[in-house]
Amino acid sequence: MPETLKYYSLLYIEDDEIDKLTFERQIIKSGYRRCQYASSIQEALDVLKVDNDIDVVISDYNLPDGTALDLIHHISKVPIIFVTGVGDEGVAVEAMKAGVYDYLVKDRECNYLKKLPITILKAIRYTKNQQALKETEERYKDLFENAIDIVQILDSKGNFIFVNPSWYNTLEYTPSQINGMTIFDIVHPEYINNIKNIIQRVSNGERISNEIIHLVTIGGTRVIVEVVMYIKRKNDAIATIHGVFHDITEKTINEDKLRDSEKTYRFLVESAHDVIYEVDLEGNFTFVNAQGVSISGYLLVELLRMNFINLVYDKHKESILSFYQSQINNKTETTYYEFQLKSKDGTLLWLGQNVKIVYEEQDGKKIKGFFAVARDITERKELEEKLRKMNASLEYRIKERTALLSETNMELAHEIKLRKKTTLALKESEQDYRGLFDNAHDAIIILTPDDEVVIEANDQALKIYGYSREEFIGMSIKNISKNTVNGTGHTYKVKNSDSIQTFDITHYNKKGEEIFFEINASSVKYSGVEAILSINRDVTKRKITEKELEVVRRNYLSALIEGQELERKRLSRDLHDGLGQLISAAKMYLKRLKQSSKMDTKDHELIDDLGEILDDTVKEVRKISHNLMPSVLQDFGLSSALSNVVKMLNEKSKEKIEYISHSKIVRMEPEHEVSFYRIAQEAINNALKYANSKTISVSYLKQKDKMVLKIADDGVGFNYNNRTSRKTNGNGIYNIKQRCDIMNAEFNILSNEEKGTTITISKVI
Domain-wise residue ranges, the chain: 2-143, 148-247, 272-417, 443-538, 630-765
pLDDT band of 310, cuts 50, 70, 90? very high
User: What fold characterizes domain 630-765?
Assistant: Heat Shock Protein 90 (3.30.565)
Lowest-confidence range among 67-81, 201-215, 327-341?
Answer: 67-81
568-586 tens-digit pLDDT: 565 655 555 556 566 666 6
Interatomic CA distance for residues 111 and 91, integer angstroms: 21
The contacts of residue 360 (CB under 8 Å, 6+ apart) are: 366, 367, 368, 455
Q: Which CATH superfamily is domain 272-417 in?
A: PAS domain (3.30.450.20)
Which H or E element spans position 586? Answer: helix 580-594
Cβ proximity of 316 and 348 under 8 Å: no
Lowest-confidence range among 480-489, 492-501, 532-541?
Answer: 480-489
- pLDDT of res. 17: 83
Same fold, 272-417 and 630-765: no
* Cα separations in angstroms, 462 against 29, 319, 357: 76, 40, 22
Query: Based on the number of CB atoms within 10 Å of its own CB, is 146 exposed (0-12), middle (13-18) or buried (19 or more)?
Result: exposed
Name the maximum alpha-carbon separation found in the chain. 166
Interatomic CA distance for residues 549 and 544, integer angstroms: 9
395-423 tens-digit pLDDT: 777 666 665 556 656 766 666 676 566 44
pLDDT band of 338, cuts 50, 70, 90? very high
What is the chain's alpha carbon radius of gyration, rounded to the nearest angstrom?
A: 43
- In this prediction, what percent of the chain has a pLDDT beyond 70? 80
CATH code given to domain 148-247: 3.30.450.20
Cβ proximity of 445 and 536 under 8 Å: yes
Closest by CA position to 242, among listed 198, 189, 186: 198
- pLDDT of res. 433: 45
Query: Based on the number of CB atoms within 10 Å of its own CB, is 263 exposed (0-12), middle (13-18) or buried (19 or more)?
Result: exposed
Helices (H), 146-191: 165-171
Interatomic CA distance for residues 562 and 130, integer angstroms: 13
User: What fold characterizes domain 2-143?
Assistant: Rossmann fold (3.40.50)
| Average pLDDT, rounded, for the chain | 81
Model confidence at 564: pLDDT above 60: no
Which H or E element spans position 696? Answer: strand 695-703
Assessment of whether the complete model's pTM goes beyond 0.75: no
690-736 tens-digit pLDDT: 888 889 999 999 998 899 999 999 888 887 766 444 444 456 788 88
Interatomic CA distance for residues 153 and 170, integer angstroms: 16
pLDDT band of 432, cuts 50, 70, 90? low
Cβ proximity of 592 and 598 under 8 Å: no
CATH code given to domain 443-538: 3.30.450.20
Closest by CA position to 64, among listed 47, 79, 44, 81: 44
